[in-house]
Amino acid sequence: MKRILIINPNSSEEMTRDIQDFATLYAENEAEVVTAKIEDAPKFIETYQDEAQAAPGMTRLIQKNQKHYDGFLVACHSDPNLDLMKEISHKPVVGIGESSMHSACLLGDRFTVISATTGSIPNKEALARKYNLGKQLTSVRPLDSVTGAVDKLDLCERVSRDAIDEDGAEVIVLGCADLVGTSFELQGRIGLPVVDGIASGLSTLLGFINQALFISKVRRYGGHV
Amino acid sequence: MKRILIINPNSSEEMTRDIQDFATLYAENEAEVVTAKIEDAPKFIETYQDEAQAAPGMTRLIQKNQKHYDGFLVACHSDPNLDLMKEISHKPVVGIGESSMHSACLLGDRFTVISATTGSIPNKEALARKYNLGKQLTSVRPLDSVTGAVDKLDLCERVSRDAIDEDGAEVIVLGCADLVGTSFELQGRIGLPVVDGIASGLSTLLGFINQALFISKVRRYGGHV
Protein backbone atom coordinates (compact mmCIF):
# COMPACT_ATOMS: atom_id res chain seq x y z
CA MET A 1 0.00 0.00 0.00
CA LYS A 2 1.31 3.46 -0.90
CA ARG A 3 1.98 5.99 1.83
CA ILE A 4 1.21 9.68 1.40
CA LEU A 5 2.04 12.51 3.78
CA ILE A 6 -0.35 15.45 3.52
CA ILE A 7 1.23 18.65 4.76
CA ASN A 8 -1.25 21.15 6.12
CA PRO A 9 0.92 24.30 6.15
CA ASN A 10 -1.10 25.97 8.91
CA SER A 11 -1.52 25.12 12.59
CA SER A 12 -5.27 24.58 12.66
CA GLU A 13 -6.15 21.33 14.39
CA GLU A 14 -9.70 21.35 13.07
CA MET A 15 -8.67 21.80 9.43
CA THR A 16 -6.04 19.08 9.79
CA ARG A 17 -8.69 16.69 11.11
CA ASP A 18 -11.15 17.55 8.32
CA ILE A 19 -8.46 16.98 5.67
CA GLN A 20 -7.43 13.69 7.29
CA ASP A 21 -11.02 12.42 7.46
CA PHE A 22 -11.75 13.28 3.84
CA ALA A 23 -8.41 12.00 2.52
CA THR A 24 -8.75 8.70 4.38
CA LEU A 25 -12.14 8.13 2.78
CA TYR A 26 -11.00 9.27 -0.65
CA ALA A 27 -7.78 7.27 -0.87
CA GLU A 28 -9.18 4.27 1.03
CA ASN A 29 -8.02 1.24 -0.92
CA GLU A 30 -5.14 2.92 -2.67
CA ALA A 31 -3.04 4.61 -0.03
CA GLU A 32 -2.40 5.09 3.62
CA VAL A 33 -2.68 8.81 4.31
CA VAL A 34 -1.29 10.85 7.20
CA THR A 35 -1.98 14.57 7.66
CA ALA A 36 0.48 16.72 9.61
CA LYS A 37 0.09 20.37 10.55
CA ILE A 38 2.84 22.95 11.05
CA GLU A 39 2.99 23.89 14.72
CA ASP A 40 4.81 27.20 14.36
CA ALA A 41 2.70 28.45 11.44
CA PRO A 42 -0.39 30.69 11.69
CA LYS A 43 -3.88 29.17 11.90
CA PHE A 44 -4.61 30.33 8.37
CA ILE A 45 -2.25 31.08 5.44
CA GLU A 46 -3.12 34.24 3.54
CA THR A 47 -0.05 36.50 3.27
CA TYR A 48 3.53 35.91 2.13
CA GLN A 49 4.56 36.43 5.76
CA ASP A 50 2.30 33.53 6.77
CA GLU A 51 3.92 31.48 4.04
CA ALA A 52 7.45 32.33 5.23
CA GLN A 53 6.50 31.41 8.78
CA ALA A 54 5.40 27.96 7.61
CA ALA A 55 8.57 27.28 5.58
CA PRO A 56 10.93 25.93 8.29
CA GLY A 57 8.33 23.49 9.66
CA MET A 58 7.40 22.30 6.17
CA THR A 59 11.07 21.82 5.28
CA ARG A 60 11.71 19.77 8.43
CA LEU A 61 8.63 17.65 7.72
CA ILE A 62 9.82 16.72 4.23
CA GLN A 63 13.42 16.12 5.34
CA LYS A 64 12.36 13.88 8.24
CA ASN A 65 9.92 11.86 6.15
CA GLN A 66 11.66 11.41 2.78
CA LYS A 67 12.10 7.69 3.32
CA HIS A 68 8.80 6.96 4.96
CA TYR A 69 6.41 8.18 2.29
CA ASP A 70 5.91 7.67 -1.45
CA GLY A 71 4.80 11.24 -2.00
CA PHE A 72 3.83 14.55 -0.40
CA LEU A 73 0.74 16.73 -0.84
CA VAL A 74 0.83 20.40 0.13
CA ALA A 75 -2.74 20.96 1.30
CA CYS A 76 -3.21 24.71 1.16
CA HIS A 77 -4.66 26.19 -2.00
CA SER A 78 -2.11 28.99 -2.26
CA ASP A 79 0.59 26.32 -2.71
CA PRO A 80 2.83 27.89 -0.06
CA ASN A 81 6.52 27.00 -0.42
CA LEU A 82 5.71 24.47 -3.12
CA ASP A 83 8.80 25.29 -5.20
CA LEU A 84 10.95 24.84 -2.10
CA MET A 85 9.31 21.49 -1.34
CA LYS A 86 9.87 20.34 -4.92
CA GLU A 87 13.52 21.31 -4.68
CA ILE A 88 14.25 19.42 -1.46
CA SER A 89 12.08 16.35 -1.92
CA HIS A 90 13.23 13.11 -3.55
CA LYS A 91 9.62 11.96 -3.79
CA PRO A 92 6.85 13.51 -5.91
CA VAL A 93 5.27 16.62 -4.40
CA VAL A 94 1.95 18.08 -5.55
CA GLY A 95 0.18 21.27 -4.47
CA ILE A 96 -3.61 21.35 -4.31
CA GLY A 97 -3.63 24.77 -6.00
CA GLU A 98 -1.67 23.70 -9.08
CA SER A 99 -3.44 20.36 -9.33
CA SER A 100 -6.98 21.73 -9.05
CA MET A 101 -6.38 24.61 -11.47
CA HIS A 102 -4.72 22.45 -14.12
CA SER A 103 -7.51 19.88 -13.77
CA ALA A 104 -10.17 22.55 -14.15
CA CYS A 105 -8.72 23.42 -17.57
CA LEU A 106 -9.51 19.90 -18.79
CA LEU A 107 -13.16 20.15 -17.72
CA GLY A 108 -14.14 23.48 -19.24
CA ASP A 109 -12.78 26.66 -20.74
CA ARG A 110 -12.93 29.04 -17.77
CA PHE A 111 -12.85 28.46 -14.07
CA THR A 112 -13.63 30.48 -10.97
CA VAL A 113 -11.75 29.94 -7.74
CA ILE A 114 -13.77 30.28 -4.54
CA SER A 115 -11.46 31.75 -1.94
CA ALA A 116 -12.02 32.03 1.78
CA THR A 117 -11.20 35.71 2.09
CA THR A 118 -11.13 38.88 0.00
CA GLY A 119 -7.52 39.31 1.11
CA SER A 120 -6.44 36.16 -0.71
CA ILE A 121 -7.74 37.27 -4.12
CA PRO A 122 -4.53 38.88 -5.46
CA ASN A 123 -2.39 35.92 -4.42
CA LYS A 124 -4.75 33.50 -6.17
CA GLU A 125 -4.63 35.60 -9.32
CA ALA A 126 -0.84 35.73 -9.16
CA LEU A 127 -0.70 31.97 -8.64
CA ALA A 128 -2.81 31.31 -11.74
CA ARG A 129 -0.55 33.62 -13.75
CA LYS A 130 2.53 31.86 -12.37
CA TYR A 131 1.18 28.58 -13.73
CA ASN A 132 0.30 30.32 -17.03
CA LEU A 133 -3.36 29.61 -16.38
CA GLY A 134 -4.27 33.26 -15.95
CA LYS A 135 -6.41 33.30 -19.10
CA GLN A 136 -8.59 30.44 -17.94
CA LEU A 137 -9.09 31.91 -14.47
CA THR A 138 -12.14 34.06 -15.06
CA SER A 139 -12.55 35.21 -11.45
CA VAL A 140 -11.77 34.67 -7.79
CA ARG A 141 -14.87 34.92 -5.61
CA PRO A 142 -14.36 35.26 -1.86
CA LEU A 143 -16.79 33.77 0.66
CA ASP A 144 -16.42 36.69 3.08
CA SER A 145 -18.02 38.99 0.49
CA VAL A 146 -21.38 37.31 1.08
CA THR A 147 -23.58 38.42 3.92
CA GLY A 148 -26.60 36.59 5.24
CA ALA A 149 -25.83 32.94 4.56
CA VAL A 150 -24.10 31.13 7.39
CA ASP A 151 -23.86 27.57 6.12
CA LYS A 152 -20.65 26.84 4.17
CA LEU A 153 -22.51 25.16 1.33
CA ASP A 154 -25.04 27.97 0.99
CA LEU A 155 -22.17 30.44 0.81
CA CYS A 156 -20.44 28.40 -1.90
CA GLU A 157 -23.67 28.10 -3.84
CA ARG A 158 -24.24 31.85 -3.73
CA VAL A 159 -20.76 32.78 -4.99
CA SER A 160 -20.85 30.01 -7.60
CA ARG A 161 -24.11 31.33 -9.05
CA ASP A 162 -22.63 34.82 -9.25
CA ALA A 163 -19.56 33.35 -10.98
CA ILE A 164 -21.72 31.58 -13.54
CA ASP A 165 -24.00 34.54 -14.21
CA GLU A 166 -21.47 37.35 -14.13
CA ASP A 167 -18.08 35.81 -14.98
CA GLY A 168 -18.99 33.02 -17.40
CA ALA A 169 -17.55 30.33 -15.12
CA GLU A 170 -17.74 26.78 -16.48
CA VAL A 171 -15.89 25.05 -13.67
CA ILE A 172 -15.67 25.90 -9.95
CA VAL A 173 -12.43 25.31 -8.03
CA LEU A 174 -12.65 25.14 -4.25
CA GLY A 175 -9.81 27.46 -3.34
CA CYS A 176 -9.35 26.58 0.29
CA ALA A 177 -8.58 23.29 2.02
CA ASP A 178 -11.22 24.34 4.54
CA LEU A 179 -13.91 23.62 1.92
CA VAL A 180 -12.90 19.96 1.71
CA GLY A 181 -15.81 17.56 1.32
CA THR A 182 -18.35 20.03 -0.07
CA SER A 183 -17.74 19.48 -3.80
CA PHE A 184 -20.19 16.63 -4.41
CA GLU A 185 -23.18 18.43 -2.91
CA LEU A 186 -22.22 21.75 -4.50
CA GLN A 187 -22.04 20.05 -7.91
CA GLY A 188 -25.54 18.70 -7.40
CA ARG A 189 -26.85 22.15 -6.58
CA ILE A 190 -25.23 24.19 -9.36
CA GLY A 191 -24.77 21.63 -12.15
CA LEU A 192 -21.14 22.58 -12.86
CA PRO A 193 -18.08 20.44 -12.16
CA VAL A 194 -16.61 21.44 -8.79
CA VAL A 195 -12.95 20.58 -8.21
CA ASP A 196 -11.95 19.84 -4.61
CA GLY A 197 -8.27 20.58 -4.03
CA ILE A 198 -7.61 17.66 -1.71
CA ALA A 199 -9.33 15.10 -3.97
CA SER A 200 -7.67 16.52 -7.05
CA GLY A 201 -4.23 16.71 -5.43
CA LEU A 202 -4.41 13.21 -4.00
CA SER A 203 -5.59 11.85 -7.32
CA THR A 204 -2.77 13.59 -9.21
CA LEU A 205 -0.16 12.48 -6.67
CA LEU A 206 -1.36 8.87 -6.70
CA GLY A 207 -1.19 8.97 -10.48
CA PHE A 208 2.40 10.22 -10.37
CA ILE A 209 3.34 7.46 -7.91
CA ASN A 210 1.65 4.83 -10.10
CA GLN A 211 3.53 6.16 -13.13
CA ALA A 212 6.82 6.21 -11.17
CA LEU A 213 7.10 9.93 -11.94
CA PHE A 214 9.19 12.33 -9.88
CA ILE A 215 10.06 16.02 -9.75
CA SER A 216 12.72 16.79 -12.33
CA LYS A 217 16.05 17.51 -10.68
CA VAL A 218 17.64 19.42 -13.52
CA ARG A 219 17.43 23.21 -13.77
CA ARG A 220 14.55 24.74 -11.80
CA TYR A 221 14.36 22.22 -8.95
CA GLY A 222 17.94 21.05 -9.19
CA GLY A 223 19.10 22.80 -6.01
CA HIS A 224 22.69 22.08 -5.03
CA VAL A 225 22.94 18.69 -6.66
CA MET B 1 -15.27 -1.88 -11.40
CA LYS B 2 -15.10 1.22 -13.58
CA ARG B 3 -15.28 0.86 -17.36
CA ILE B 4 -13.18 2.97 -19.70
CA LEU B 5 -13.33 3.13 -23.47
CA ILE B 6 -10.06 4.12 -25.08
CA ILE B 7 -10.58 5.59 -28.52
CA ASN B 8 -7.63 5.12 -30.86
CA PRO B 9 -8.50 7.65 -33.57
CA ASN B 10 -6.52 5.83 -36.26
CA SER B 11 -7.07 2.47 -37.93
CA SER B 12 -3.83 0.78 -36.95
CA GLU B 13 -4.48 -2.65 -35.51
CA GLU B 14 -0.98 -2.92 -34.08
CA MET B 15 -1.15 0.39 -32.22
CA THR B 16 -4.59 -0.49 -30.87
CA ARG B 17 -3.25 -3.77 -29.51
CA ASP B 18 -0.20 -2.08 -27.94
CA ILE B 19 -2.43 0.51 -26.24
CA GLN B 20 -4.82 -2.19 -25.03
CA ASP B 21 -2.00 -4.31 -23.59
CA PHE B 22 -0.42 -1.42 -21.74
CA ALA B 23 -3.71 0.04 -20.51
CA THR B 24 -4.90 -3.34 -19.22
CA LEU B 25 -1.72 -3.69 -17.18
CA TYR B 26 -1.76 -0.09 -16.00
CA ALA B 27 -5.40 0.09 -14.90
CA GLU B 28 -5.50 -3.54 -13.67
CA ASN B 29 -7.32 -3.37 -10.35
CA GLU B 30 -9.07 -0.10 -10.96
CA ALA B 31 -10.85 -0.33 -14.28
CA GLU B 32 -11.89 -2.54 -17.13
CA VAL B 33 -10.41 -1.05 -20.28
CA VAL B 34 -11.45 -1.56 -23.90
CA THR B 35 -9.56 -0.01 -26.84
CA ALA B 36 -11.38 0.64 -30.11
CA LYS B 37 -9.88 1.87 -33.37
CA ILE B 38 -11.57 3.94 -36.08
CA GLU B 39 -12.00 1.80 -39.19
CA ASP B 40 -12.43 4.60 -41.71
CA ALA B 41 -9.54 6.72 -40.38
CA PRO B 42 -5.94 6.71 -41.69
CA LYS B 43 -3.33 4.44 -40.11
CA PHE B 44 -1.64 7.47 -38.54
CA ILE B 45 -3.06 10.88 -37.61
CA GLU B 46 -0.81 13.79 -38.56
CA THR B 47 -2.76 16.37 -40.57
CA TYR B 48 -6.06 18.18 -40.01
CA GLN B 49 -7.43 16.15 -42.92
CA ASP B 50 -6.56 12.94 -41.06
CA GLU B 51 -8.34 14.37 -38.05
CA ALA B 52 -11.46 15.24 -40.02
CA GLN B 53 -11.53 11.75 -41.50
CA ALA B 54 -11.55 10.27 -38.00
CA ALA B 55 -14.36 12.51 -36.72
CA PRO B 56 -17.47 10.58 -37.87
CA GLY B 57 -16.19 7.27 -36.50
CA MET B 58 -15.16 8.83 -33.19
CA THR B 59 -18.56 10.53 -32.89
CA ARG B 60 -20.41 7.27 -33.51
CA LEU B 61 -18.22 5.49 -30.96
CA ILE B 62 -19.06 7.98 -28.21
CA GLN B 63 -22.75 8.10 -29.09
CA LYS B 64 -23.09 4.31 -29.14
CA ASN B 65 -21.22 3.83 -25.87
CA GLN B 66 -22.40 6.70 -23.65
CA LYS B 67 -24.22 4.35 -21.30
CA HIS B 68 -21.73 1.52 -21.27
CA TYR B 69 -18.65 3.36 -20.03
CA ASP B 70 -17.74 5.65 -17.16
CA GLY B 71 -15.34 7.69 -19.25
CA PHE B 72 -13.54 8.03 -22.58
CA LEU B 73 -9.87 8.49 -23.39
CA VAL B 74 -8.79 9.88 -26.76
CA ALA B 75 -5.52 8.05 -27.34
CA CYS B 76 -3.72 10.11 -29.95
CA HIS B 77 -1.33 12.78 -28.75
CA SER B 78 -2.62 15.47 -31.10
CA ASP B 79 -5.98 15.25 -29.27
CA PRO B 80 -7.93 14.99 -32.53
CA ASN B 81 -11.57 16.07 -32.27
CA LEU B 82 -11.27 16.35 -28.49
CA ASP B 83 -13.46 19.47 -28.27
CA LEU B 84 -16.13 17.70 -30.32
CA MET B 85 -15.95 14.63 -28.06
CA LYS B 86 -16.26 16.83 -24.96
CA GLU B 87 -19.30 18.51 -26.47
CA ILE B 88 -21.20 15.32 -27.27
CA SER B 89 -20.23 13.13 -24.32
CA HIS B 90 -22.16 12.91 -21.07
CA LYS B 91 -19.23 11.13 -19.45
CA PRO B 92 -15.78 12.60 -18.76
CA VAL B 93 -13.45 12.68 -21.77
CA VAL B 94 -9.69 13.17 -21.53
CA GLY B 95 -7.12 13.55 -24.31
CA ILE B 96 -3.63 12.12 -23.84
CA GLY B 97 -2.11 15.30 -25.27
CA GLU B 98 -3.77 17.68 -22.80
CA SER B 99 -3.29 15.34 -19.86
CA SER B 100 0.39 14.64 -20.46
CA MET B 101 1.29 18.28 -21.14
CA HIS B 102 -0.56 19.63 -18.09
CA SER B 103 1.03 16.89 -15.93
CA ALA B 104 4.49 17.76 -17.22
CA CYS B 105 4.04 21.30 -15.89
CA LEU B 106 3.73 19.93 -12.35
CA LEU B 107 6.98 17.97 -12.62
CA GLY B 108 9.32 20.64 -13.92
CA ASP B 109 9.46 24.02 -15.55
CA ARG B 110 9.97 23.13 -19.20
CA PHE B 111 9.05 20.08 -21.19
CA THR B 112 9.98 18.64 -24.57
CA VAL B 113 7.51 16.61 -26.59
CA ILE B 114 8.94 13.72 -28.58
CA SER B 115 6.90 13.45 -31.75
CA ALA B 116 6.88 10.65 -34.28
CA THR B 117 7.41 12.80 -37.36
CA THR B 118 8.82 16.18 -38.36
CA GLY B 119 5.47 16.89 -40.01
CA SER B 120 3.67 16.84 -36.67
CA ILE B 121 5.84 19.54 -35.06
CA PRO B 122 3.69 22.60 -35.94
CA ASN B 123 0.47 20.91 -34.77
CA LYS B 124 2.07 20.00 -31.44
CA GLU B 125 3.26 23.56 -30.98
CA ALA B 126 -0.20 24.87 -31.82
CA LEU B 127 -1.76 22.40 -29.39
CA ALA B 128 0.46 23.56 -26.53
CA ARG B 129 -0.45 27.18 -27.32
CA LYS B 130 -4.15 26.26 -27.43
CA TYR B 131 -3.84 24.93 -23.88
CA ASN B 132 -1.85 28.03 -22.88
CA LEU B 133 1.15 25.83 -22.16
CA GLY B 134 3.22 27.27 -24.97
CA LYS B 135 5.71 28.85 -22.60
CA GLN B 136 6.49 25.59 -20.87
CA LEU B 137 6.90 23.69 -24.13
CA THR B 138 10.57 24.22 -24.83
CA SER B 139 10.75 22.06 -27.96
CA VAL B 140 9.23 19.33 -30.06
CA ARG B 141 11.79 16.74 -31.14
CA PRO B 142 10.81 14.33 -33.92
CA LEU B 143 12.07 10.75 -34.04
CA ASP B 144 12.38 10.76 -37.83
CA SER B 145 15.13 13.39 -37.57
CA VAL B 146 17.49 10.79 -36.13
CA THR B 147 19.43 8.55 -38.41
CA GLY B 148 21.34 5.47 -37.42
CA ALA B 149 19.44 4.15 -34.40
CA VAL B 150 16.71 1.66 -35.19
CA ASP B 151 15.44 0.65 -31.76
CA LYS B 152 12.56 2.85 -30.52
CA LEU B 153 14.15 3.32 -27.11
CA ASP B 154 17.53 4.27 -28.55
CA LEU B 155 15.81 6.84 -30.75
CA CYS B 156 13.94 8.30 -27.78
CA GLU B 157 17.14 8.42 -25.74
CA ARG B 158 18.98 10.27 -28.51
CA VAL B 159 16.33 12.97 -28.97
CA SER B 160 15.85 13.29 -25.20
CA ARG B 161 19.56 13.95 -24.68
CA ASP B 162 19.49 16.61 -27.40
CA ALA B 163 16.44 18.16 -25.71
CA ILE B 164 18.23 18.27 -22.35
CA ASP B 165 21.49 19.64 -23.72
CA GLU B 166 20.15 22.08 -26.29
CA ASP B 167 16.63 23.05 -25.17
CA GLY B 168 16.87 22.94 -21.37
CA ALA B 169 14.21 20.22 -21.11
CA GLU B 170 13.34 19.17 -17.56
CA VAL B 171 10.55 16.75 -18.42
CA ILE B 172 10.01 14.56 -21.50
CA VAL B 173 6.52 13.96 -22.86
CA LEU B 174 6.03 10.99 -25.16
CA GLY B 175 4.08 12.65 -27.94
CA CYS B 176 2.72 9.62 -29.73
CA ALA B 177 0.54 6.75 -28.52
CA ASP B 178 2.92 4.53 -30.50
CA LEU B 179 5.58 5.11 -27.81
CA VAL B 180 3.38 3.54 -25.13
CA GLY B 181 5.27 1.42 -22.62
CA THR B 182 8.71 2.95 -23.10
CA SER B 183 8.58 5.62 -20.37
CA PHE B 184 9.93 3.58 -17.45
CA GLU B 185 13.05 2.43 -19.25
CA LEU B 186 13.64 5.82 -20.85
CA GLN B 187 13.42 7.45 -17.39
CA GLY B 188 16.08 5.06 -16.16
CA ARG B 189 18.38 5.94 -19.02
CA ILE B 190 18.08 9.72 -19.00
CA GLY B 191 17.21 10.51 -15.36
CA LEU B 192 14.35 12.88 -16.22
CA PRO B 193 10.67 12.24 -15.61
CA VAL B 194 9.09 10.84 -18.78
CA VAL B 195 5.33 11.22 -19.14
CA ASP B 196 3.54 8.50 -21.09
CA GLY B 197 0.33 9.81 -22.65
CA ILE B 198 -1.71 6.67 -22.11
CA ALA B 199 -0.69 6.26 -18.45
CA SER B 200 -1.17 9.96 -17.79
CA GLY B 201 -4.52 10.10 -19.55
CA LEU B 202 -5.86 6.97 -17.85
CA SER B 203 -4.71 8.25 -14.51
CA THR B 204 -6.35 11.65 -15.03
CA LEU B 205 -9.57 10.08 -16.31
CA LEU B 206 -9.75 7.61 -13.41
CA GLY B 207 -9.23 10.55 -11.05
CA PHE B 208 -12.10 12.46 -12.66
CA ILE B 209 -14.36 9.41 -12.38
CA ASN B 210 -13.40 8.93 -8.71
CA GLN B 211 -14.13 12.60 -8.05
CA ALA B 212 -17.47 12.35 -9.92
CA LEU B 213 -16.26 15.13 -12.23
CA PHE B 214 -17.68 15.72 -15.71
CA ILE B 215 -17.16 18.03 -18.66
CA SER B 216 -18.90 21.33 -18.01
CA LYS B 217 -21.99 21.71 -20.17
CA VAL B 218 -22.28 25.47 -20.02
CA ARG B 219 -20.69 27.71 -22.63
CA ARG B 220 -17.83 26.08 -24.56
CA TYR B 221 -19.02 22.49 -24.50
CA GLY B 222 -22.72 23.30 -24.08
CA GLY B 223 -23.65 22.37 -27.65
CA HIS B 224 -27.38 22.59 -28.40
CA VAL B 225 -28.56 22.02 -24.85
Angle at B71 between CA B3 and CA B35, to 5 degrees: 65
pLDDT of residue A75: 98
Best mutation site among B161, B202, B213, B219 for testing chain A: the one with the most A CBs within 10 Å?
Answer: B213
Q: Kindly state the average pLDDT of the residues B176-200.
A: 96
Which chain B residues are Cβ-neighbours of A133 within 8 angstroms? 132
Residue A129's pLDDT is: 97
Taking the CA of residue B115 and the nearest CA in chain A, the distance in Å comes to 20
Contact between residue B18 and residue B37 where contact means Cβ atoms under 8 Å apart: no
Looking at CA atoms only, how far is residue B83 from chain A in angstroms?
10
Q: What is the pLDDT of residues A111-157, one digit of tens each?
A: 999 999 999 999 999 999 999 999 999 999 999 988 877 799 999 99
Could you give the CA distance from residue A2 to residue A210 in angstroms, rounded to a whole number?
9
Fold of B98-196: Rossmann fold (3.40.50)
Q: Which residues pair with B173 in a beta bridge?
A: B113, B195
Record: fold of A2-97+200-221: Rossmann fold (3.40.50)
pLDDT score, position A147: 83
3-state secondary structure A188-201: HHHCCCEEEHHHHH
CA A100, CA A199: separation in Å to the nearest integer? 9
pLDDT at A225: 56
**pLDDT higher than 60, residue B103:** yes
Query: In this prediction, what percent of chain B has a pLDDT beyond 70?
Result: 99
Across A13-43, b (16+ Cβ under 10 Å) vs e yields eebbebbbebbeebbeebbebbbbbbeebbe
Tell me if chain B has a CB within 8 Å of the CB of A89: no
> Least CA distance to A28: which residue of chain B?
B210
Q: If you average pLDDT over residues B124-141, what whole number do you get?
A: 97
Residues of chain A positioned with their CB less than 8 A from the CB of B99? 106
B203 touches chain A (CB under 8 A): yes
| Cβ–Cβ gap A200/B218 under 8 Å | no
Q: Is the model's pLDDT at B115 over the cut of 80? A: yes
Q: Is B73 helix (H, G, I), strand (E, B) or coil?
A: strand
Q: Are B106 and A99 in contact (CB under 8 A)?
A: yes
**A126 contacts: CB under 8 Å, gap ≥ 6:** none
- Min Cα–Cα distance to chain B from A151, Å: 23
Q: What is the DSSP letter of B36?
A: E
Please indicate if any CB of chain A lies within 8 Å of the CB of B72. no
Of chain A, the percentage scoring pLDDT greater than 70 comes to 99
Please check the confidence at residue B225 and state whether its pLDDT lies above 70.
Answer: no
Nearest to B108 among A102, A204, A216 (CB): A216
CB atoms A108 and B216 under 8 Å:
yes
Predicted local distance difference test score (pLDDT) of residue A159: 97
A215 vs B contacts (CB less than 8 Å): 107-108, 193
- Return d(Cα A187, Cα A195) in angstroms, integer: 9
For the residues of A155-213, what is the DSSP string, one character each? HHHHHHHHHHHHH--SEEEE-SGGGTT-HHHHHHHH-S-EEEHHHHHHHHHHHHHHTT-
Best to test chain A binding among B211, B219, B221 (most A CBs inside 10 Å): B211
SS3 A84: helix
Q: What are B46-92's pLDDT values in tens digits?
A: 899 999 999 999 999 999 999 999 999 999 999 999 999 999 999 99
- Percentage, residues of chain A above pLDDT 90: 92
Query: Burial, A160: exposed, middle or buried (Cβ in 10 Å; 0-12, 13-18, 19+)?
Result: buried
Question: Given strand B2-8, what is the order of strands in its sheet?
Answer: B31-37, B2-8, B71-74, B93-95
Q: Does domain B2-95+200-221 have CATH number 3.40.50.12500?
A: yes
- For residues B127-145, give the mean pLDDT: 96
Return the minimum-mean-pLDDT range out of A95-99, A178-182, B168-172.
A178-182
Instruction: State how far the Cα of A167 lies from the Cα of B198, in Å rounded to an integer.
Output: 34
Mutate to test the interface with A, among B89, B194, B218, B225 (most CBs of A within 10 A): B218
What pairing do the DSSP bridges indicate for beta strands B93-95 and B71-74?
Answer: parallel
> Is the predicted pLDDT of residue A31 greater than 90, yes or no?
yes
pLDDT digits over B24-49, tens only?
A: 999 988 999 999 999 999 999 989 99
- On chain A, the residues whose CB falls within 8 A of the CB of B106 are 94, 98-99, 102, 204, 208
Beta strands in chain B (DSSP E): 2-8, 31-37, 71-74, 93-95, 111-115, 137-142, 171-174, 194-196
* pLDDT top residue among A81 and A223: A81
Domain extents in chain A: 2-97+200-221, 98-196
| B130 pLDDT more than 70 | yes
CA distance B207 to chain A (A): 5
Close Cβ partners of A129 (under 8 Å, ≥ 6 residues apart): none
Q: Is the complex ipTM more than 0.85?
A: yes
Within 8 A of A217 by CB-CB distance, chain B residues are 191
CA nearest neighbour of B104 among A4, A173, A204: A204
Domain A2-97+200-221 and domain A98-196, same fold? Reply is: yes
Q: How many CB atoms lie within 10 A of CB B192?
A: 24
Mean pLDDT (chain A, rounded): 96
Of B135, B170, B210, the CB nearest to A203: B210
Q: Which residues of A touch B212 (CB under 8 A)?
A: 184, 187
Across the interface, of A170, A206, A210, the residue whose CB is closest to B216 is A170
| pLDDT tens digits along A52-85 | 999 999 999 999 999 999 999 999 999 999 999 9
pLDDT exceeds 90 at position B128: yes
- Report the first-to-last Cα separation within chain A, whole angstroms: 30
* End-to-end C-alpha distance for chain B, whole angstroms: 30
Phi, psi for residue A86 in degrees, rounded to 5: -65, -35
Candidates A105, A207, A220; nearest CB to B207: A207
Q: B150-154, B171-175, B212-216: which has the minimum mean pLDDT?
A: B150-154
Is B87 an interface residue toward A (CB < 8 Å)?
no
B22–A contact, CB cutoff 8 A: no
Inform me whether the C-beta atom of residue A103 falls under 8 Å from chain B C-beta atoms: yes
Tell me how far the alpha carbon of residue B144 is from its chain's centroid: 19
Which residues in chain A are contacts of B221 at CB distance < 8 A? 108-109, 170
Residue B200 has pLDDT above 70, yes or no: yes
DSSP assignments along A3-29, one per residue: EEEEEE-S--HHHHHHHHHHHHHHHTT
d(CA B50, CA B173): 22
